[in-house]
Structure 1
């Protein structure tokens, strides 16, 4: 069932240019703690080394040197693209992430150069490839390539800093997919096994999520992963965009899509994630969730009922009545709603328009809800009604109501196709291979940080 798959360009990572930071710094990293408006640059040239910050060696990766200027530049790029405001508390995390990324990219380029010699073929992305990615990024930000480059320079980021990142990422993605993608086989038995698990879980709620996964092996262990995740949660609670954070910090295959993992069912994620999702509401950001290999941060975008649930879409018209209302007041409200009910020719469709013409009656759309979650009086009435029908008056502590049933349906959603399952499994396997490959490169390399 192996099929050709489209390779998503690096521009899907979507460089965000909302934050601007000064190019010069007095003490190291002082510039990152101050907001500043970007200044127009005369040309898209590389930014000069920050004044007052002498360049020295930050790390050595085998025989390659990463300078403190390289590190400061990558930190600026990371800050500008993540949407996270730099503070004294998180600047260390930016420095660690920037250094880890630079080390990984040096290892990747070294490995690819070695493979080029062995296989006598070009593997590393060309300048033309990199410029195409830059142009796509510029279009995504409604800019021309020159405007895009000047915007970066105005934030103290040399264009070559972004080009180096693009070159490493594009080259590595192509190499992993080219070397291993053609060898991977997602068998029909694997697809059927997933389908069977999904059918068995069809009655369970389904969740539409975005994810950030901090790989403990990449960042220096479980404690470092948990500490970094806590800082990211704090920043997102303060307004940092989840997709931008995912693109820059997540080790998951979904990072290129801003962490979008789509709809999942219980059992597809680690048990710790499943347990957290059960307690979350749509629109909620989780606290860090430690798992075996790292830490997850989950944003629950939406939730829907399982296939065994019944979902109803309701509108109502109501007369407010206190619990102390007299029998005469209740009788008058009942007569008013019964009269309105007799005028409803379109059921759910015209209840709001007709109710607006009756003094003392308020109408509104209650939206969708599972029947089992309705208030007992509403649930009893709705269970026997069909779409287009209207209930008789229902007494509650707030007043007297009539309910119009707009629609009824079984919960859940259409089953995912075998092709979608295969694509998801393929992506998961390829991501696992890439992570293992990088782990082996780090293990065998000589890396010295200073």
Structure 2
């Protein structure tokens, strides 16, 4: 593939997998029992992969997607899950060979951060996975390899991890030369085929994944679990990609797809690609109104009945009205949200006004004078006050120097990952057992 890739990062994939695993009951547990659980399904350079390892990973997939997958569907995942675990073991062995250390504290901190961001008590993830029959070690092992492999790739790149001003300038010239040409916002799940004998198996696996995606499984979660591209670390998100950078067959399909659609498997160099389209535009021509803002959210203790508000709800509204009369800056809003317990983040990040789905809120963000608090916005669960900090017109079709730098690094990381994996697979002694 010739997709450019976003900057590697571990938190998004963790968030996608873990939060989804808590969203619903998932699939019924289908476990290997008794002697079958310890049955060896593969040996990788002397390291054993058991049926229980495969079983845990496929059940993690079922939980992650939140889909009530049947035992038949889960069984079809077994061959590809086994191959994924083989590749994961090769990565882990390379991490260990290079003496790259991933501390237990790093993994624990990442999981704790996710729990905090989602207002989960510490230990929630472990308890939920255990309740659904997934060993917590399964997730820890996956995360450890992801972090360690990213560090191996940085070592592999060496000086190539540094992007020069000349590299960025050359990329800027390329973008300018493509102004007005088509550009696509897409995400990908890449299924590698390292051996022609694996093609039918990979196709069956891809068909199973597509079936789950079209039934409602979240694309970022499935990509995080099963895509073998480095973009899996971002839930498969490739960002905006120029048509000239996309495989011709994938490009042909993207031109015909409506936003939100899921493609059939597409044969590309090295494997199969499953893509979803998120948007289309012309390079260099995407004017947008961008705002930064602060919000203070004051929660109700019970759901609002507009005809019969409680005393606490009336007091909360009065508090929001006082805030609207006293807050003079975004710093004041930060302080007020912290004093209110920070039930929601004060800074939701930069927003594109045109992308806000609720028309009254879109109108408010487009017209509220910067530095002036809004009137209280009442919802069933609380009251919010919003202040616009900055508002500007910006051409999002022209990438910044930082974005171009990240693109270049990510392309180099992806190339290094695929080359190193091919080398590891070629040198490995792998015994796959039925």
Shorter-chain TM range is 0.5 to 0.7
Scaled by the length of structure 2, the TM-score of the pair is 0.65
User: How is 1:62-73 mapped onto 2 (pairs within 5 angstroms)?
Assistant: 62-73=45-56
Asked if the contact 1:289–1:297 (Cα under 8 Å) also holds between the matched residues in 2, the reply is yes
Aligned residue for 1:227, secondary structure, equals helix
- In structure 2, the partner of 1:87 is 70
Query: How much does 1:284 deviate?
Result: 2.3
2:410 equivalent to 1:427? yes
Whole-Å separation in 2 of the counterparts to 1:21 and 1:274: 35
Asked if the contact 1:61–1:448 (Cα under 8 Å) also holds between the matched residues in 2, the reply is yes
Query: How much does 1:68 deviate?
Result: 1.6
Query: How much does 1:247 deviate?
Result: 0.7
- Give the helix-richer structure, 1 or 2: 2
Alpha-carbon deviations, 1:416-447, whole Å to 9, x = none?
12331221121011111112112211211111
Query: Which of residues 60, 82, 92 is equivalent to 2:43?
Result: 60
Whole-Å separation in 1 of the counterparts to 2:238 and 2:246: 11
Instruction: Classify 1:11/1:287 alpha carbon distance in 2 versus 1 (closer, same or farther; 3 Å).
Output: closer
Whole-Å separation in 2 of the counterparts to 1:310 and 1:159: 46
Alpha-carbon deviations, 1:366-389, whole Å to 9, x = none?
xx9xxxxxxxxxxxxxxxxxxxxx
- In structure 1, the partner of 2:240 is 263
Query: Which of residues 103, 107, 111 is equivalent to 2:90?
Result: 107
Aligned residue for 2:424, secondary structure, equals helix
Aligned residue for 1:285, secondary structure, equals coil
Whole-Å separation in 2 of the counterparts to 1:104 and 1:146: 30
Alpha-carbon deviations, 1:115-146, whole Å to 9, x = none?
22xxxxxx231221221122234335542332
Instruction: Classify 1:257/1:80 alpha carbon distance in 2 versus 1 (closer, same or farther; 3 Å).
Output: same
Query: How much does 1:190 deviate?
Result: 4.3
Asked if the contact 1:13–1:257 (Cα under 8 Å) also holds between the matched residues in 2, the reply is no
Whole-Å separation in 2 of the counterparts to 1:152 and 1:245: 17
- In structure 2, the partner of 1:98 is 81
Aligned residue for 1:284, secondary structure, equals coil
Query: How much does 1:24 deviate?
Result: 6.5
Scaled by the length of structure 1, the TM-score of the pair is 0.63
Tell which structure's C-alpha radius of gyration is larger.
1
- In structure 2, the partner of 1:279 is 256
- In structure 2, the partner of 1:47 is none
Asked if the contact 2:265–2:274 (Cα under 8 Å) also holds between the matched residues in 1, the reply is yes
Alpha-carbon deviations, 1:360-411, whole Å to 9, x = none?
xxxxxxxx9xxxxxxxxxxxxxxxxxxxxxxxxxxxxxxxxxxxxxxxxxx9
Aligned residue for 1:261, secondary structure, equals strand
Alpha-carbon deviations, 1:1-35, whole Å to 9, x = none?
xxxx986234543222134345574xx5xxxxxxx
Whole-Å separation in 1 of the counterparts to 2:114 and 2:277: 28
Aligned residue for 1:262, secondary structure, equals strand
Give the gaps of 5 or more residues in structure 2. 1-5, 289-353, 355-393
Q: Which has the higher contact order (CA 8 A, sep 6+)?
A: 2
Query: How much does 1:297 deviate?
Result: 1.7
Alpha-carbon deviations, 1:217-273, whole Å to 9, x = none?
289644443333222222211111111111111122221111122222211211222
Query: How much does 1:174 deviate?
Result: 1.9
Whole-Å separation in 1 of the counterparts to 2:262 and 2:86: 31
User: How is 1:165-314 mapped onto 2 (pairs within 5 angstroms)?
Assistant: 165-217=142-194, 221-305=198-282
Whole-Å separation in 2 of the counterparts to 1:54 and 1:250: 26
Query: How much does 1:92 deviate?
Result: 4.0
Query: Which of residues 404, 407, 419 is equivalent to 1:436?
Result: 419
Range that drifts further, 74-83 or 428-437 = 74-83
Aligned residue for 1:267, secondary structure, equals helix
Whole-Å separation in 1 of the counterparts to 2:422 and 2:40: 24
Aligned-residue Cα RMSD (Å) equals 3.2
Asked if the contact 1:135–1:144 (Cα under 8 Å) also holds between the matched residues in 2, the reply is no
Query: How much does 1:307 deviate?
Result: 5.9
Aligned residue for 2:244, secondary structure, equals coil
